[in-house]
Every structure is written in C-alpha cells, then in structure tokens.
Amino acid sequence: MAEATIFGPKRFIDRTFDEALTLLEEVRSYILYEERSDRLGLSPSARVRQSLEATRMTARLTNVMAWLLLQKAAASGDLDFIDPMRPENRLGGREACMDEDGALDEALPERMRELLDKSQKMYVRVARLDDMMARSDVA
C-alpha cells in the first residue's frame, strides 16, 4: 500500500509514534516513582487536582497512541486505507484532553506541569492531523 494512504509520509507517523511512546514512558515513570512523593506536600484540593490531571494525561496519551497505531496499520497495509477516515476511528477524548489548565496550575508539582504541557501539545498536534484527514478527500 502506498504512503498516500495515510496523512503524510510513513516516517512522519513513525517519528510521531516514537515521540509519543517516549513521552508515555516519561509519564509512566513519573506516576510510578515521583507522583506519590510530590503529593505529600500538596493541599487536599491540589491532591485531587493532581489525580485528575494524571488521569487526563493518561487519556491524552492513550488516545494519541491508539490513533497513531491505526495510522501505522493503514500505512503497512494491515487495514484498508479508508479505515483511519471512519468517524469511529477519529482521535477520541477531545473535550477532556484539550484542556490545558493543569499545566498552568502552580499548585501542582513542576514536573507534573511539564508533563501535562508536553502531553497537551502532543495531543493538539495529533488532533490537527486528525482534523486534516477528516477534511481531506484523500487520506
């Protein structure tokens, strides 16, 4: 199947996938090894916010990874070229994932805000690609 079956060159999708995977590993490491100790110095409301934002960060990256895996499958010919364009295969979670307030909340630990910012920027970038594909006659 030709590279034209996905939006953009296969290497672009591969590079974005690798970047998302690296960010996912950073987030996983933070949640496993740093989040708990960061939580100790937070107020009760900031702890709740930290949990909410950790969930949002996970949702962003889960949706991005699912979308990128679909693009990779279409590029390799494992899926029909039209599958990525189907409405049910669009990038999910827009309402929750586009929110950028967590990265600006100074009550949250600095490392968490950094990861929130990175995950939000990654999500927005992939959302733009998804929107371009949805508007395009040729995926």
The 10s digit of each residue's pLDDT in 7-56 is 556 788 899 999 999 999 999 999 999 999 999 989 999 999 999 999 99
How large is the average pLDDT for residues 77-92?
A: 86
Ordered by where they begin, the domains of the chain are 7-135 (1.10.8.930)
Provide the pLDDT confidence category of residue 6 given band limits of 50, 70 and 90.
Answer: very low
- The helices-and-strands tally (H runs, E runs) of the chain is 6, 0
Instruction: Compare 51 and 79 and report the one with higher pLDDT.
Output: 51
Measured CA to CA, the distance from residue 78 to residue 1 in angstroms comes to 9
Q: Mind listing the pLDDT tens digit for each residue in 86-128?
A: 889 999 999 999 999 999 999 999 999 999 999 999 999 999 9
Provide the pLDDT confidence category of residue 3 given band limits of 50, 70 and 90.
Answer: very low
Exposure class string for 72-94: b at 16+ Cβ within 10 A, else e:
bebbeeebebebbbeeebbbbbe
pTM comes to 0.87
Residue 80, pLDDT > 90, answer no
Measured CA to CA, the distance from residue 102 to residue 119 in angstroms comes to 11
Using alpha carbons, select from 97, 70, 63, 78 the residue that is nearest to residue 7. 70
How large is the average pLDDT for residues 62-83?
A: 89
